[in-house]
Amino acid sequence: MNLYNIKHPTEQVSFAQAVRQGLGKDQGLFFPETIPHLNNIDELLALPLVERSQKILGALIGDEIPTDKLNAMIENAFTFPAPVAKVADNIYALELFHGPTLAFKDFGGRFMAQALATVRGDGKITILTATSGDTGAAVAHAFYGLENIEVVILYPKGKISPLQEKLFCTLGGNIRTVAINADFDACQALVKQAFDDETLRQTIGLNSANSINISRLLAQVCYYFEAAAQLTAEQRQNLVVSVPSGNFGNLTAGLIAKTLGLPIKRFIASTNANDTVPRYLQTGEWQPHATVATLSNAMDVSRPNNWPRVEELFKRNGWSLSDLGSGALNDAQTETALKAQYAQGYLCEPHGAIAYQVLSEQLQAGETGLFLCTAHPAKFKESVERILDIELPLPEALDKHNKLPLLSDEMEADFVALRAYLLK
Ligand SMILES: *Cc1c(COP(=O)(O)O)cnc(C)c1O
């Protein structure tokens, strides 16, 4: 597999290099030079998840990784199901929260860890990533206990749910977590600064594991196929998919699935009040506002770092951005949507509720709607219990960590301090 840097197309790398490096020159994102068109979609859809994913990722990545190695990586990563549930007439939920940290980021995180363990050279590796909630948990759990790989995770102090924090800040071992006194965008800026620091990068073998690493996106392609596999051929004919979006990695993966030939009629990018993309699609002007805190905090991102990949795909495929649906909900509307779903017999959480609501408002006659449920309701226990006036039992995976003490360090949004910390 050959990839190029979207900012500097002459910088070209292999899959292994892209996985190790994360970002290219000037923080440019790597993107596959070619995406094959698969002609055997129906055959693929008839296969079980792991076997189908081995074929899809084999086609994407090519012979750079021996088939038996790649197959083992996928088997180790995809150890849990992604069921589709019916929510309303013509509307289905793809539940991506049955992994070890109860969020969709387990798919990308676990495959990324496997990929890195496979393609790593000699020497130390330090994973540095910023999280607005769930990436942190998925990365921490995916890498926990892997030899010679250090993990450092930055997150905005007080801006993620206490349970989310417990899930990844209680591991210890090769996982260090840092609460930054600032918002998520500031954490992300610190990570970018670290990657720009050549000396630091070399010394500690810096590697990013957030949604910018291409291996994460490739893994996520597989669950769009899994969703289609659980629908009937008729439902697949006019399939509209609503993606709750923050950094837009999830949507990018869906667009790659469509490029591969998966029949998806159109996508809808659903956001919270951090609505840079919906406004851009309406006005043509890219005008990020300051990030605001919302109920769906894993989507509190006003400068989505995967957006250049979305535009690249539209350009390369000759698609028009006017075909990309979008919608944004504020917190009051999110609460209303969550209640409506619950009344319909489906228990969701704020991120999935946004995707559901925007979808149901935009779905047309004859279309089948699918929205992505990116987290287990219990991961947003406080809000869900308050909004629905119910009590949610903690799933075992969360309960276990909830009882452990937090091991995080605390820091200002100060690069000099972070640098010293990383070199320690
Ligand atoms: C990360 C996350 C999102 C946003 O996904 P992107 O790929 O960043 O757009 C949505 N919901 C939840 C629960 C998340 O953790």
CATH code of residue 86: 3.40.50.1100
Q: How far apart are CA 102 and CA 393, in angstroms?
A: 14
Question: Rounded to the nearest 5°, which phi and psi values hold at 337?
Answer: -65, -40
Q: What is the pLDDT of residue 251?
A: 98
Nearest-atom index, ligand 1, CA of 134:
15
In a domain, 15, yes or no: no
Taking a C-beta distance cutoff of 8 angstroms, is the pair 93, 87 a contact?
Answer: yes
Give the residue, by CA position, lying nearest to ligand 1 atom 8. Answer: 247
- C-beta separation of 372 from 82 below 8 A: no
In angstroms, what CA-CA distances link 215 with 67, 109, 182, 309?
A: 16, 9, 29, 14
Answer yes or no: is 405 within a domain.
no
Distance (angstroms) between ligand 1 centre and the Cα of 134 equals 7
Here the tokens at position 384 are 């869900």
Is 147 a member of any domain?
no
Q: Which residue of 94, 98, 112, 134 sits with most ligand 1 atoms within 8 Å of its CB, as the best mutation to test the pocket?
A: 134
Mean pLDDT for each 10-residue chunk of the chain (424 residues)? 97 94 90 97 98 98 96 95 96 96 91 91 87 82 88 94 89 96 95 94 84 91 98 96 97 98 98 98 97 94 96 97 98 98 97 98 98 94 96 87 95 97 93
Identity at 101, one-letter amino acid code: T
Q: Strand 409-411 vs strand 266-271: parallel, antiparallel, or unpaired?
A: unpaired
DSSP label of 299: G
Site of tokens 């990309």: 324
Q: From the CA of 103, how far away is ligand 1's center (Å)?
A: 9
What tokens does 207 get?
């590697």
Start-end of H helices in 144-248: 162-168, 184-196, 198-204, 214-229, 233-237
Domain-located, residue 144: no
CA–CA dist 74, 48 (Å, integer): 13
> For 138-163, what is each residue's pLDDT tens digit?
889 999 988 889 999 999 999 988 88
- Domain extent, residue 289, equals 81-102+214-391
**Amino acid 210: pLDDT:** 63
155 in a domain, yes or no?
no
Residue closest by Cα to atom 15 of ligand 1 = 134
Query: Residue 271 Cα, ligand 1 centroid: separation in angstroms?
Result: 10
Radius of gyration of the chain (CA): 20
Q: Which two tokens stand for residue 131?
A: 């999280």
Residue 265 falls within a domain, yes or no? yes
Tell me whether residue 16 is in a domain.
Answer: no
Residue 284 domain-assigned (yes or no): yes
pTM here is 0.89
Residues whose beta carbon lies within 6 Å of some atom of ligand 1:
103, 105, 133-135, 211, 244-250, 298-299, 351, 374-375
CB 386 within 8 A of CB 331: no
Query: What totals of helices (H) and strands (E) does the chain contain, helices first?
Result: 19, 14
**Among the atoms of ligand 1, which is closest to the Cα of residue 375?**
13
Ligand 1 pocket, mutate which of 129, 250, 276, 349 (most atoms under 8 A from CB):
250
Query: What pLDDT, on the 0 to 100 scale, is given for residue 123?
Result: 79
Tally of domains within the chain = 1
* Sign of CA pseudo-dihedral 372, 362, 240, 304: negative
Angle at 285 between CA 283 and CA 264, to 5 degrees: 65
